[in-house]
A and B are shown apart, each in its own frame.
Chain A
């Protein structure tokens, strides 16, 4: 058999699953001793160009509490046309369509290579995709112009039958009616008043006053009723004009005030509108905002400019007046949207904070995107926004809606919870653990917006008792069933069934150890850490993490913006955490420990230690932190460039050297969502701080002279270096007699 590394990679390729342990300790006691829980990173919609969906429905186990789906791990009696469920051992008859089944004529779901398989459900109405733009008009003129252009551009990317809607807000909230000729019509709401969904629907005239007799039967498309959401093909021109005519919020903003921005009400209306018209249909609410909400429910800061928006300091001191209330408001909205299967994207572009801290749950709970930038008039926003509408190899959007993820386990395992862009569906069952890790207490989650990279961390608990050993060679199985609305509007079900060996930790410790996936474990632990950091006080989490497990990654994790709030605004922290909780393993690793490449005349580009000692005068460094791409020219290189050597034909190699990191950076920029901040700096440049803040401060002002001066760049920080950290660690490890 291949190495575990290959096995892990293979499994990830095929199933989109990576476990922290690939051989499972067979008893609860042993599992707890392992410290790192049995958990996996699941990318439910991992792109599988080689996996065509099958055009029929899955076969379910007939036991009502189980309903597991027929999979390659099931035992099949071809003669009796029976199959045994590998989760509950129920024996099931094959449905009539499977009469021709035999050893040589197997349906796809029984073949081992189809441990992941996708079914297309044919029944049920197909509802179009819905895009509801919620646009802030309190922007600077050029920002608004750029945003308008981006939005107009996006219309051309939408499928012609997609429904679109437009809500604009400033001091008031306007819901635009899109199918009007001759006069543009909008419904206006006060930005200060919280309305219930019922009120919103009444006011928008969506609740048809029970018209007796009239058209009781005709089942036209139920969605034609909404004037506010219209097929793009019908109102393309109208909407383009409407967007073109959008003006900045006309209400005067006096000196020393922030514009009044009713983000809270606008979102509430967007949620209410979709809730009333298209419940349980895939829909994206896309919020574009250029500043913090300043009035009404969900306000984050008052309109007085002299009062700055809350900082971490304020939050610690309990001085953030509006935070709790606002958070509650957005949480309520997020939950409502999630219930209805709608996802909320937040595109916040402003130099100051925009209240992402309060609004984060909207994206986090519904699987929406969160994009943070400085201005709508930057390529960061423009390209990121375009990338949302990128298409896969089949020409479909890389997005899925209204998904539910159901997890089934063998009886030795229970589900402890999940960390990711999901909400609990509160489905209790025999395989749900009482101990919660992440969002727990359920075996099903709702993920309103999914893309091929969305990744959840799912945590399990081994419940097998020590005195009831599992027979040698026994395997535990887990089935992930993801039902979702594909962007082609089909409903699909993707089923992944995986199994791993059980091993007795006492006798087979080496096996288990060898099958440990440290990358997955690190990310999974980090996710737990971030999850806790979101809900608990920062230092406590760090202490918890220190206690749990300390390895190299963890040094960087401790310093990462996911746990440290120092030097980050609350909004930035929320933003980083948001992405950390949904990116796949590779990206997560980059986030935890940024990658540093070094370019020099000495050889091909090479990865180097993320350490201050790597910062050398004759090198070009390329750092990828996921959120930032930094190109850093060493002192000498910078001088050379300044001197213009690259333009001299005899120094063409220098020109190439300069170009190489740029090309590599472009490659990363092309692929990543959201687009990272691209920083091109040099020694002594102000932007160099992005690099300096990330590297291991092996040389600081404290030890500068002891280390000598010949290499590296000193970092002015009081943070401990990895060396010191490791020293402490060793001491602790030895002294603590656990």
Chain B
């Protein structure tokens, strides 16, 4: 059965479950409508004596259980589990509200028999049998009772722990002994005399189901942002946003939309308070991009004290002559030119005429005060810096790139409807020396200027290096034609790296503009120059205390360089084409700190990787970028932004400096309390981004978001977003590996997760047997997702994962948004042949586990970076024929990366699906066709994240058990 799915035996939603009459959790089902006052939880404030003792004396707040979870489950003795979907309904909504639930807070309890004692009762174990009907509770097998439907579980006495033989040693991956893990995930019916019981995978929370439900429930209506503290639909759901005063979730997502009033509460819950901000996020065409407000010379109106920008939450008083800052409560005068009368509700009459008074997101035109050196910026520049060493030439990269650039230069980002892009371009090639090109329009042929003084880089020319594409087209074309020829016979294998960036940065400095460097680089920079690197890859360091050094840059030179780049507004995008170790960890430092992107094409060959590279390149060149940006997050008094994750540089503790920021880059911000928050006024966030547009206009983009504040932990747990939480935790962990051993980082993650869940269990869930695992509804996917993070390549590398790959992924994740982390950690697995061929929608995904694959089917798997087409061994011949144009399974080329273009519905559909998947992601995913039982399948299986991984990562089921144990330990 599927968790959360209403099963026939379940009584109508909202009806108090007779078994648990004491709970009146019905109202927790959600906040139906947008007006539900938070206070309506007050009814449940009766103290529950049983939990009293857990409270810290003297803390004047309701006992945690008071905000009792909407869904609870009681421990049925002897493994009888009950799964109540209490959380799904809302009593107040009445029985009719069957499926109108939002993704409500709630909890999902899992019952479990005590672990240890059962070991002595092996004889009564019930072997794993055929699955009960989906409506039945099926999770009994491993003794881990997952409460499902209301139906009583089959009588299974002495359930499930028999397989946890006493002889089993602790699993190395976990901090504490974790019995029985190795056998989990094995196929049903192991040949042991005492077949291990296992938890039914279907009975544990399924990401697929959660995503499906959210899509069905919330995908249809637009998400209106007018109400404070609303939890937006999941990132996997397609929905429209209507800005009515709060920033769209496309710009900001929070781990929780209801945050504790006090730091004590926050500490107790251990739920990180973080916002994932994507200031320049692209919007679907149906949604309008932020309005640009021009306040003329006076510039945007700001609070005198905290410098927050005018926003819908500012309170106008004294008939509109003054306003009170919503962040710091300072009272400011309204300048005469901004004065407007208030209506009877105290609102300005012109509130709806002014974006900054009615919308969550808008832009201000900045005045000269907001510009560097008090000078309006010049239009930015793009500099293409191409490695022309032997490897780059031989792989065909240089020729391909030069050819592509000729047309790509017409697609530089332009502002609005501008006829031509204001961006100027420049070209540099390099191996162990740098070649600059003068492509001034007046020249008959380009001029090449070689700078070999790499130790002390400088720009040899001023005029003619950065040019307008249209004016210099002939010279540029001639140059791009000649570059591959000029270096065709090169024997130079050594390259430099830091001087290249230095040169680009100096060039921008000389031209007094911001800009972006596009670096195309192939090899470890071993030539004698600053930033020279040596091959220090050492797999022996894995799982030692020194493992962190693999993620740290080899030299501090790149940090210094990055700092200079940021000061100049020089963003670096790096395209890597390594054939072997290139020390991504070090090479990425500058792109990372300057807000750039890194692309890596291992063993690049034109035939195989051309499409992927060109597609990425096109996208990267065309995407809209804000240059020389500074981002600051202001908050209501009481909380404060304390920590930032992403691709940027910070020279102080508050300003996020981004040499460049594009629509894919995300900054995750963590908040901490420094005072009490007020339940009534809630907590406000204002993210202000000052940047230079691609036409050289200086602007401020403001995003505002209001959150609720709670004094009840349950409110917190009810308004969490697991996807965002995972985004934060992954970034936190991925940064942690720089300083701590990977194992420490993993343990810390597990501990934090356990603490979060234990706190819930202790304070919010209904009292139940300790053996029962109870998860908050909003966080029921936390374990599975966390497990995916834990077994990701960075935190638990397999044998085939290179150091560079790990550093690369680590770097990528750092600036991923919630949708990207979601699919990256839990890949989508789409069966292609299950749904009718004529259906146009995406087929429903299945869980990422080998068990879900049937050998008669074909599946697509994607995680935002990789795309696999898995072909089962006994797929119908017709299917094979119509997809691959070969007659049998055995004739399919393994590792194929392009599907033949065939004129039949299936082929069209699959190719269409592949295209649409690619279109959804910010990077082109290269398709790999994997045949069942083929060598490549290993690679594919790596992404079946619910299974136990070869590198020792636990299966979902095992991990859940482990998590349960951790929680129990914390509770006891």
The interface of chain A, by Cβ under 8 A from chain B, is: 172, 174, 180, 182-190, 193, 195, 199, 202-205, 245, 250-252
Contact = CB atoms under 8 A, between A and B. Distances in A.
Contact of A250 (B436, B462, B478, B482): B462
Interface stretch (B326-334, B451-459, B733-741, B750-758): B451-459
Contact of A193 (B447, B453, B486): B453
B447 to A, nearest CB: 5
A108 B448 CA distance: 58
A190 B499 CA distance: 14
B450 A187 contact: yes
A185 B462 contact: no
B432 to A, nearest CB: 10
30 contacts: A172-B460, A182-B482, A182-B485, A183-B445, A183-B447, A183-B448, A183-B479, A184-B445, A184-B446, A184-B448, A185-B447, A185-B449, A186-B447, A186-B449, A186-B450, A187-B450, A188-B436, A188-B449, A188-B450, A188-B460, A188-B461, A189-B451, A189-B452, A193-B456, A195-B453, A205-B452, A245-B444, A250-B461, A251-B462, A252-B462
B462 A203 contact: no
Given A182-B478, A183-B447, 19 more contacts: A172-B460, A174-B449, A182-B482, A183-B448, A183-B482, A184-B447, A185-B450, A187-B449, A187-B451, A188-B436, A189-B451, A190-B458, A203-B452, A203-B453, A205-B433, A205-B452, A250-B461, A250-B463, A250-B464
Interface of B: 433, 436, 443-453, 456, 458, 460-464, 478-479, 482, 485-486
Contacts of B482: 182-183
Contacts of A183: 445-448, 478-479, 482, 486
Nearest to B475: A183
B451 A188 contact: yes
Contacts of A195: 453
A341 to B, nearest CB: 26
A245 B444 CA distance: 10
Nearest to A202: B452
Contacts of B479: 183
A180 B485 CA distance: 12
Contacts of A185: 447-450
A452 B482 CA distance: 49
Contacts of B463: 250
B478 A204 contact: no
Nearest to B457: A190
A190 B453 CA distance: 8
B205 to A, nearest CB: 62
A244 to B, nearest CB: 11
Contacts of A193: 453, 456
Contacts of B448: 180, 183-186
A195 B479 CA distance: 31
Given A185-B448, A187-B450, A174 B456 contact: no
A574 B485 CA distance: 51
Given A182-B478, A183-B479, A183-B486, A190 B446 contact: no
A195 B452 CA distance: 12
A293 to B, nearest CB: 18
Contacts of A250: 461-464
Instruction: Name the residue among B445, B453, B479, B485 with the largest chain A CB count within 10 angstroms.
Output: B453
A204 B452 CA distance: 7
Nearest to A184: B447
**Most chain B beta carbons < 10 A, residue from A174, A183, A184, A199:** A183
Contacts of B451: 187-189
A467 to B, nearest CB: 67
Contacts of B443: 245
A87 B452 CA distance: 55
B389 to A, nearest CB: 14
A76 B445 CA distance: 70
Nearest to B479: A183
Contact of B452 (A172, A180, A187): A187
Contacts of B458: 172, 190
A358 B92 CA distance: 98
Contact of A190 (B433, B450, B456): B456
A205 B479 CA distance: 22
A334 B902 CA distance: 76
Contacts of B460: 172, 174, 188
Contacts of B444: 245
A174 B447 CA distance: 12
Contacts of B464: 250
Nearest to A173: B460
Contacts of A172: 458, 460-461
A187 B464 CA distance: 16
B453 A189 contact: yes
B442 to A, nearest CB: 10
Contacts of A203: 433, 452-453
A672 to B, nearest CB: 41
Contacts of B436: 188
Contacts of B447: 183-186
A188 B444 CA distance: 21
A251 B463 CA distance: 8
A195 B454 CA distance: 13
A251 B238 CA distance: 55
Nearest to B437: A183
Nearest to A247: B463
B42 to A, nearest CB: 73
Contacts of B453: 189-190, 193, 195, 199, 203
Nearest to B435: A185
Nearest to A189: B453
Contacts of A186: 447-450
A183 B479 CA distance: 8
A188 B506 CA distance: 15
Nearest to A200: B452
Contacts of A251: 462
A308 B196 CA distance: 96
Contacts of A190: 453, 456, 458
Contacts of B450: 185-188
Nearest to A242: B447
A186 B448 CA distance: 6
A297 to B, nearest CB: 14
Contacts of A202: 452
A344 to B, nearest CB: 23
Q: Taking each of B448, B456, B478, which has the highest tally of chain A beta carbons within 10 Å of its own beta carbon? A: B448
Nearest 8 interchain pairs by C-beta: A203-B452, A188-B460, A187-B450, A250-B463, A185-B448, A188-B449, A184-B447, A190-B458
Nearest to B436: A188
Nearest to A211: B491
B528 to A, nearest CB: 9
A196 to B, nearest CB: 12
A204 B449 CA distance: 12
A174 B464 CA distance: 16
B103 to A, nearest CB: 62
Nearest to B434: A188
A182 B445 CA distance: 6
A657 B187 CA distance: 125
A180 to B, nearest CB: 8
Nearest to B448: A185
A95 B484 CA distance: 62
Nearest to A241: B444
A61 B50 CA distance: 123
A182 B478 CA distance: 8
Contacts of B446: 183-184
Contacts of A189: 451-453
B820 to A, nearest CB: 42
B390 to A, nearest CB: 13
A183 to B, nearest CB: 5
A189 to B, nearest CB: 6
Contacts of A174: 449, 460
A188 B945 CA distance: 55
A189 B451 CA distance: 6
A188 B464 CA distance: 15
